[in-house]
Amino acid sequence: MANQGYFNFTPGLGTLGVLLLGEDRTTRWNGSALVPISSIASGSWTTGIVSATEQVTSNSLATGIYAYNVPGGISAQELVSLLYSTTTPAYNAQPIGQQLLPWTGATVATLDAIQAEAANEYVAIFRINRAGLCTVVLTENSIPLTSGVTNPALSVLDLSQGSTIINAATLSPVSGWPSVYKYQASPATSGDALVAGITATYAGGSQTFVSLPVTAP
């Protein structure tokens, strides 16, 4: 079906849970709309979790292909699908898989549509160490940007806590590494899932570079 997403994972797990994050990675599906993660109470975390059902062969053998329906009402954007081992994950549970899902507003985008939009793909590669040192690489179409970036500012959302732990902090270039930026923050809570968003001036305008979730060490 055109509105289905798929995960390839360990066979035989039955039904898994999927949490859909919005394009800015600070919103999530709550069953009726994409809302700020910070608006969801820990006790209501499972609201909006989508079931991913394993597909089986005609003689009932597990395939390891888990299919889930993308709910209606989500506008066209690049979603992030986080896969969990249960349909009732705790608010601080760690996902067992993740993927980018290009969503047209009605269907999952075809390869041709993905390639047509590739020229506007801005992604941040984000890491944080135990001492709180954040490092960031900004990319366009998977290529690190070595020039043309000004005024980069880092914000980090702790998905496990539902709170912003870094807010528009100025990034500094790393000497000798023109594509790498850094910021010294306080250590994050070990095991928490973090998402970074970097705003910067690039290509004649303001751009936002967003990372995939990482786990704080």
Q: Which amino acid is at 129?
A: N
Residue 166: partners with Cβ closer than 8 Å, 6 or more residues away:
134, 154, 155, 156, 183, 185
In 3D space, the residue among 193, 104, 118 whose CA is nearest the CA of residue 156 turns out to be 193
Half-sphere CA count of 184, side-chain side, radius 13 A: 2
In 3D space, the residue among 7, 38, 196, 10 whose CA is nearest the CA of residue 100 turns out to be 7
Pairing between β-strand 4-8 and β-strand 143-144 as defined by DSSP bridges: unpaired
Phi, psi (deg, nearest 5) at residue 58: -65, -25
What is the pLDDT, as a whole number, of residue 112? 46
Domains delineated in the chain: 4-115 (no CATH), 121-215 (2.60.40.1220)
What is the pLDDT, as a whole number, of residue 114? 40
Which pLDDT tens digit goes with each residue over 59-109?
988 998 899 989 888 888 888 899 999 999 999 888 888 888 888 876 665
SS3 189: coil
What is the pLDDT, as a whole number, of residue 162? 83
The residues with which 147 forms a beta bridge, in sequence order, are none
The contacts found for 188-191 with CB under 8 angstroms, 24 or more apart, are: 188/128, 188/132, 188/156, 188/158, 188/216, 189/158, 189/160, 189/161, 189/216, 190/130, 190/216, 190/217, 191/92, 191/94, 191/160, 191/215, 191/216
DSSP assignment of 122-179 equals EEEEEEE-TT-EEEEEEEETTEE--SS-EEEEEEEEETTTTEEEEEEEEPEEETTEEE
What is the pLDDT, as a whole number, of residue 182? 96
- Which residues of the chain fall below pLDDT 70? 1-2, 106-120
What is the pLDDT, as a whole number, of residue 120? 60
In 3D space, the residue among 181, 214, 185, 213 whose CA is nearest the CA of residue 198 turns out to be 181
Q: Return d(Cα 101, Cα 140) in angstroms, integer.
A: 18
